[in-house]
Amino acid sequence: MNKEGQQRPSFSFCGQMKKIHVHTAFKLHHSGKIVPYAVGLHDVEDDIADHPYTKLHADVILNDAGNSASEHAPETETKMTEKALLQEQAISIGIAIDKRWGIGRLQAEIAAKQVS
């Protein structure tokens, strides 16, 4: 289940898995099904992570093929996870975020919103 209490779709995965961070919620038509992806982290098959529509709405965090091999340097992965958490926090308090904002801008917007 996701944090909104909704059941995540279940599929039988035969390929490698990747973790994506969805920065803009979207629905993907895949294998005859419509699969909704909410803002946040999701484990998906390679073909879903590599889909052009997914790439418009999400960033690949890491390739989890049993060994958790990252496509990014470890510090970059940590920063991306921190950014994802800040984006979720900003959205939850009503900030309309821009996916291009970095960690510093997100922290500043959150701090400004909490002061007001």
Whole-number pLDDT of residue 64: 40
pLDDT digits (tens, 9 = 90+) for 12-45: 445 578 888 888 899 999 888 999 999 888 889 8
Q: Which of residues 61 and 100 earns the better pLDDT score?
A: 100
**Cβ contacts of 13 within 8 Å, gap of 6 or more:** 45
Q: How many Å from the N-terminal Cα to the C-terminal Cα in the chain?
A: 33
When pLDDT is averaged across residues 68-92 and rounded to a whole number, the result is: 67
C-alpha–C-alpha distance, residues 84 and 75, integer Å:
14
Which is it for the CA torsion 36, 4, 21, 17, positive or negative? negative
Contact 69, 112 (CB under 8 A): no
Whole-number pLDDT of residue 35: 92
Q: What is the pTM of this model?
A: 0.45
Q: Which of residues 100 and 36 earns the better pLDDT score?
A: 36
Q: Where do we find the tokens 């005859």?
A: 32
List the chain domain ranges: 1-70, 74-115
C-alpha–C-alpha distance, residues 80 and 74, integer Å:
10
Whole-number pLDDT of residue 70: 40
Q: Which of residues 96 and 84 earns the better pLDDT score?
A: 96
Q: Where do we find the tokens 């629905």?
A: 27
